[in-house]
Structure 1
Amino acid sequence: MIMKKLVYLILILTIIGCNSLSKTLNGGKVAKDDYMETIKFNYDYNFALIDVVINQKTYTFLVDTGAPTVISNQIYKDLNINPANSTNVTDSQGQSNNQEVVIIPEVRIGNLIYNDIGAIVADLRDVFEFNCMGIDGIIGANQMAKSFWKFDYQNHEITITDQLANFDITSYEDRLNFFTSNQKTPYVVGYVNGVSTTYTFDTGFAGHLDVDSDIADFDDAIGFVKYGSSSVGLYDVKDSISTRTIKIDSLRIGDIDMGQQIVELDHGSLIGNDFMNKHDMIMDWSSNLIYLKKKKNMKKERKVFLDSKQDLKKTKLL
């Protein structure tokens, strides 16, 4: 069984290819207009896992803004379709391989039908963590960007619509501007102790905030080391066996001033589900905006963590 606190699954796929590949991945559409669909998601592992129907079979897919849509080799075989393209795919651990790119004729999420969706073919079940969670594929940013997506982490619901007016955005006090990669993964500019960094806004990351260890010298920061792999890539390669956790004096994400924070240092800057699940969240790719409405008292939770000096004393300080 996978323990939620130990799973920090990062699946950031970097696609290397040409314009025709980008058109394949970003093609397709929702089969109808003026829609609003609410679906449940499983959050047992700190990831949003949803039911997806392809070729009249129901599968479990991870909703992952840090990746494109992915289907397993078995789904690909069942569809009996020809590849539209192929590309080199590099995962979060720097491992790369050539993967087939296909166009899925129909993907059903709830009552919504997506036609002609571009997807990478990869056997996720070969990765231990994916297999334990029963993940057959990924609904990625390239597919999500065709709609507005609202995440309600308290009720474990996602609402998908083509009309932003279906949501009362006036009640969302914070907004984050983002820019995207070719696969529509959102990136948000932020600052750590006054130093700029670019965060991947990643629903495929179960953690809170990771900060790129290369952006500044954190040698004097108080912290501790946790042992064990913090992430796994598409090709089942884990990262280093230790992760450094430190207290930083100031952190800003877009226009959100978060003050002092406890963060993990890693190979890149990430915003994950442990941050998002303290909010209702709407993702708007048409305007490159993320709307956030705070649902938990983040300041109170942060203060309790920072005041736990006894916990820090029990751990090796760096």
Structure 2
Amino acid sequence: MKLTRVFIYLITIILISSCSVNKAAKYLKEGETAEENYKVTLPFEIRNGYIIVQANIKNKDYNFILDTGTPSLVSKKLAEKLNLKIIDSVKASDVFNQKQANKYTKIEKVKIGTLDFVDTVALINDFNSIPMWSSLNIDGFIGANLMQHAIWDIDFGKKQITITDNESKLNLPKEIIENKLFIGVAGVPSIACKMNGKKVWNFTVDFGYNGGIVMPFTEFEKQIENGQILDFKKFKTYATVGIYGGQDVKRESYKGTINDIEFGNTTLKNEKVYSEQYLGKRLGSAFFSNYRVILNWNSKKIKLIETNLE
């Protein structure tokens, strides 16, 4: 039987007490841009399927993963180097539901391109102690709680990002795919779509996952039983990596093709999907890599432009 290795990143705030969660959620709403009426464009690179951008903190550049599926994070090493002040802590869990206390800090200014994001709250995490993450040579994650304060135009074809406060400044074509965003804790966005006619809620828009479309495991098996998915393979997955490390527990997994995915105002045909026991549903960077993606937290819209239509 075929075994495959899948690398996953996900961190979410979990309930410890109403006080700690409410306090963390309040902190993660904070922040803004120092500028108004702006449009900034910068390049990015791809490492192992992850978007890497440079962010300047205290006049020095650092490498960050752009990750819509998590709050912002800085490495323990970087937090010590910058002498960042701890403001509180909260327990957070990774993809395996492993829980650890994470201290968090407030960064006075994070410069991305020529744009200053001020008063950004970030968790402090020793993720570089995990070989998979240390091999990427990153200093942190630019998360949804920072990104929610601007409009982001991520062009995978040109490998560039444009950040603005007014969508009319973007040169958008008439042919566009559009869907509604649902905004969760720390600004993490999700969408709903129909898969072979069945509505599925809360697909995380997760640029911190380097795979494609992850479909709920139970729904995948149900559609197989109903004869809606005919093109699929079943196998075992192992050594998935979360923020706190990996687990060598084998899980049942599927790869298959969904005939119709209704994504907002468009129906996508014959999309490849993945499904694994206990892995949450999400849309990762491999799915978005064929598009120019506009994320607008104010209008609560995600827009996709096929790169071959521009």
**Taking structure 2 as the reference length, what is the TM-score of the superposition?**
0.87
1:62 aligns with 2:61: no
Cα deviation, residue 241, structure 1: 4.0
Matched with 1:235 is: 244
**2-structure distance, mates of 1:165, 1:64:** 24
Cα deviation, residue 15, structure 1: 4.5
Find 1:217's aligned residue among 204, 208, 222.
222
**2-structure distance, mates of 1:265, 1:230:** 15
Tell me the number of residue pairs that the alignment of Structure 1 and Structure 2 aligns: 293
Q: Structure 1 pair 82/193, CA: closer, same or farther in 2 (3 Å)?
A: same
Pairs within 5 Å for 1:140-219: 140-198=143-201, 199-215=203-219, 216-219=221-224
Find 2:286's aligned residue among 274, 286, 306.
274
Cα deviation, residue 79, structure 1: 2.6
Find the residue that maps to 1:217 and give its secondary structure.
helix
Larger strand share, 1 or 2? 2
Residues 5 and 240 of structure 2 are in contact (CA less than 8 Å); yes or no, is this contact kept in structure 1? no
Give the aligned residue type for 2:210.
Answer: A
Q: Structure 1 pair 138/99, CA: closer, same or farther in 2 (3 Å)?
A: same
Matched with 1:11 is: 10
1:49 aligns with 2:52: yes
Matched with 1:295 is: 307
Q: Structure 1 pair 122/226, CA: closer, same or farther in 2 (3 Å)?
A: same
**1-structure distance, mates of 2:190, 2:76:** 29
Find the residue that maps to 2:260 and give its secondary structure.
strand
**Taking structure 1 as the reference length, what is the TM-score of the superposition?**
0.85
Residue by residue over 1:78-121, the C-alpha shift from the partner in whole angstroms, topping out at 9 and shown as x without a partner, is: 23233222111011221111111111112111211211101111
Find 1:128's aligned residue among 126, 131, 139.
131
Find 2:40's aligned residue among 18, 37, 40.
37
* Range that drifts further, 204-213 or 187-196: 187-196
Cα deviation, residue 289, structure 1: 0.3
* Range that drifts further, 199-208 or 230-239: 230-239
Matched with 1:255 is: 265
Which runs of 4 or more aligned residues in structure 1 lie more than 6 Å from their structure 2 counterparts after TM superposition? none
Q: Structure 1 pair 95/197, CA: closer, same or farther in 2 (3 Å)?
A: same
Residues 10 and 231 of structure 1 are in contact (CA less than 8 Å); yes or no, is this contact kept in structure 2? no
Matched with 2:254 is: 244
Find the residue that maps to 2:40 and give its secondary structure.
strand
Residues 7 and 206 of structure 1 are in contact (CA less than 8 Å); yes or no, is this contact kept in structure 2? no
Give the aligned residue type for 2:206.
Answer: D
Give the aligned residue type for 1:144.
Answer: M
Percent of residue pairs identical: 25
**2-structure distance, mates of 1:239, 1:209:** 23
Computed over aligned residues only, the root mean square deviation of the Cα atoms, in angstroms, reads 2.2
* Range that drifts further, 232-241 or 276-285: 232-241
Matched with 1:285 is: 297
Gaps of 5+ in 1: 298-318
Find 2:24's aligned residue among 13, 17, 21.
21
Q: Structure 1 pair 87/189, CA: closer, same or farther in 2 (3 Å)?
A: same
Find the residue that maps to 1:214 and give its secondary structure.
helix
Matched with 1:86 is: 89
